[in-house]
Amino acid sequence: MTCRRSGFGLLLAGSVVTLIGLAVALRHTFAIPDHWTTVVVGLALLGAGAVRAVLRGPRRDAGTS
């Protein structure tokens, strides 16, 4: 398996770790209850999926079976 973009995996991993650390720090700083963490993570994933779907555009093989 060949990688299209060299170093992309490391950039993604670093971004994930950074965002998790930032989320933990903000949660402790603003005393956000634990149960809201799941809601925020879910909303962030939905938003990221929507942005990715919009940026990718329509797929050429969509609709064929």
Q: For the segment 28-63, what is each residue's pLDDT rounded down to a tens digit?
A: 999 988 888 888 888 988 998 899 888 887 777 666
Q: Are 11 and 3 in contact (CB under 8 A)?
A: no
- The whole-number average pLDDT for the span 4-11 is 80
Report the half-sphere exposure of 44 (CA within 13 A, side-chain side): 10
Q: Is the pLDDT of residue 3 over 70?
A: no
Q: Is the pLDDT of residue 1 over 70?
A: no
Instruction: Specify the DSSP class assigned to residue 28.
Output: H
Measured CA to CA, the distance from residue 27 to residue 16 in angstroms comes to 16
Measured CA to CA, the distance from residue 49 to residue 42 in angstroms comes to 11
Predicted confidence (pLDDT) per residue in 26-36, tens digit: 889 999 888 88
Length of the chain: 65
Measured CA to CA, the distance from residue 26 to residue 6 in angstroms comes to 32
Domain ranges of the chain: 12-56
